[in-house]
Amino acid sequence: MIIGLIGSGGREHALCKKIYQSNLVKKIVCFPGNAGTSQLATNVDVDILNFKKLYNLLKFYKIDLVIVGPEEPLVKGIVDFLKNKKIKVFGPNKYAAKLEGSKAFMKKMCFQNKIPTAKFKICKKIIDVKKFLINSKLPIVVKADGLAAGKGVTICNSNKQVFSVSNEIFKGKFKSSKSVVLEEFLKGEEASYFVLVDENSFKFFGTAQDHKRVYEQDKGPNTGGMGAYSPAPIITKSLEKKIISRIIKPTLIALKREKKPYTGFLYAGLMISKNNPYLIEYNIRMGDPECQVILPRLKTDIVKIFIKSISKKLNKTKIKWSGKKCMTVVLCSKGYPGKYKNNLKIKNISKINLRKEDFIYHAGTKFLNNELRTNGGRVLNITSTGSDFLKIRKRINSIIEKINWKKGYYRKDIGWKVIY
């Protein structure tokens, strides 16, 4: 079987590594991939939003099954496009992908189906913002409606900041957003809950906690994610029942009612307040870096799971998990999520002696003249598994210290909520 994997981040390297372990797989082709995937697969440089060109390459490489990693091609309808071309593909349809592609769409669905979420208002003009603020308490969360690579959310502590951030979005700061979603600020602890879905059923696919802020002690601007750990201890069995009955099931039923049933990974970003779950956001793919801490704990052949999902036979599949814990720390370019330099040399990685429980997932990397270079804001995901989060973090930090890249930055406090 030949697998086509779309994407180029740390998530895709983690997926590639897991797919590579399957006995069903003869070859993997990554579109476009990165320096890490190139050691396991054939990388093909292509614009993944150019669906026609991508389709021609999929035919050329005789791809049997396509796995879509990132959100943008999913939101733009790649699954519908490839299905119409009779190519097997794992992921949600364009309508269902609006769960992530439009925060306004997601919030409306919550309202219509009584899914617990923060109070909100969808604003298309500044006058709408003013009206919401009349009866709202600070802080207020301002969100760009469309995709923003994890950087479209701002917690505002003054009305002036709410107006300023909203204006920036109205003026086109994010190309995909012409409207703003304002939300009440929910106090609690964030967690991520994952399910894998076919059109008729779903299976649990892990829990994790991400660290969005760029600096330690959760300070600074939001990023795509600076590190994560799995499982998330805050999600107990009793809380999980509430997540499924109040959030996951109503969402999947609503999509089925619209005759647009869901297939693929579904990731619920939650706020846990007084032992009750509230939906903060949906992502229609595996998280990044959450994928990098969930997949090392997966014991079942992931390709078999993909096949069962697109064949609508997921209910007959047993997914097994390791009892170990996993953590990843993101090594990023100094300046991220703002301006940073690319093409910087990274040395020593090949000389580091990794144990079998250690992984270095590549994200923003490339090979240039056989030298490993930076090619993005989030560059490497240093990952390890074990029985104790503190020991895991110490192990990760010791690996990072051996990497010779002076322009790298990372948070040393990943997992602070579970390390006392």
CATH of the domain at 200: 3.30.470.20
Neighbouring CB atoms inside 10 A of 321's CB total: 15
86 shares a domain with 130: no
Distance CA 420, CA 417 (A): 7
152 and 180 housed in the same domain: yes
Residues 303 and 329 in one domain: no
Contact 228/290 with Cβ under 8 angstroms?
yes
Establish how many alpha carbons lie within 13 A of residue 188's alpha carbon, considering only the half-sphere containing its beta carbon.
Answer: 21
- Mean pLDDT over each residue of the chain, to the nearest integer: 95
Q: Report CA Rg, the chain.
A: 21
Domain membership flag for residue 20: yes
Q: In sequence order, which residues have a C-beta less than 8 Å from that of residue 203 and are 6 or more positions away?
A: 195, 196, 197, 314, 317, 319
- 3-state secondary structure labels for all residues of the chain: CEEEEEECCHHHHHHHHHHHCCCCCCEEEEEECCCCHHHCCEECCCCCCCHHHHHHHHHHCCCCEEEECCHHHHHCCHHHHHHHCCCCEECCCCCCCHHHHCHHHHHHHHHHCCCCECCEEEECCHHHHHHHHHCCCCCEEEEECCCCCCCCEEEECCHHHHHHHHHHHHCCCCCCCCCEEEEECCCCEEEEEEEEECCCCEEEEEEEEECCEEECCCEEEECCCCEEEECCCCCCHHHHHHHHHHHHHHHHHHHHHCCCCCCEEEEEEEEEECCEEEEEEEECCCCCCCHHHHHHHECCCHHHHHHHHHCCCHHHCCCCECCCEEEEEEEEECCCCCCCCCCCECECHHHCCCCCCEEEEECCEEEECCEEEECCCEEEEEEEEECCHHHHHHHHHHHHHHCECCCEECCCCCCCCCCC
pTM > 0.75: yes or no: yes
Tell me the β-bridge partners of 76.
none
Considering the domain boundaries, does residue 106 fall inside one?
no
Distance (Å, whole) CA 250 – CA 337: 35
Decide if 278 contacts 215 (C-beta within 8 A): no
The verdict on 377 and 392 lying in the same domain is: yes
Same domain, 308 and 194: yes
Number of structural domains (the chain) is 4
The reply to whether 218 and 307 lie within a common domain is: yes
Q: CA geometry: angle at 219 spanning 218 and 225, to 5°?
A: 60
- Residues 6 and 66 occupy one common structural domain: yes
Last residue of a domain, one of 184, 202, 219: 184
Residue 420 lies in a domain: no
Domain assignment of residue 166, yes or no: yes
Burial 169-188 (b: 16+ CB within 10 A, else e): bbeeebebbebbbbbbbbeb
Assess contact for 343 and 332: CB atoms under 8 A.
Answer: no
Residues 299 and 388 in one domain: no
Model confidence over 150-184: pLDDT tens digits? 778 999 999 999 999 999 999 989 888 889 999 99
Overall residue count recorded for the chain in this entry: 420
Residue 121 confidence (pLDDT): 95
Residue 276, domain extent: 189-316
Examine the domain organization and report whether 208 and 267 are in the same domain.
yes
Residue 125 and residue 23 share a domain? no
- Is residue 300 domain-resident? yes
Cα–Cα distance list, 70 to 2, 4, 95, 99, 166 (Å): 20, 13, 16, 14, 26
Count of alpha carbons within 13 angstroms of residue 64, beta-carbon side: 11
| Domain-located, residue 242 | yes
> How does pLDDT run along the chain (420 residues), one tens digit per residue?
999 999 999 999 999 999 999 999 999 999 999 999 999 999 999 999 999 999 999 999 999 999 999 999 999 999 999 999 999 999 999 999 999 999 999 999 999 999 999 999 999 999 999 999 998 999 999 999 999 877 789 999 999 999 999 999 999 898 888 899 999 999 999 999 999 999 999 999 999 999 999 999 999 988 989 999 999 999 999 999 999 999 999 999 999 999 999 999 999 999 999 999 999 999 999 999 999 999 999 999 999 999 999 999 999 899 999 999 999 999 999 999 999 999 999 998 988 999 999 999 999 999 998 899 999 999 999 999 999 999 999 999 999 999 989 889 999 999 999 997
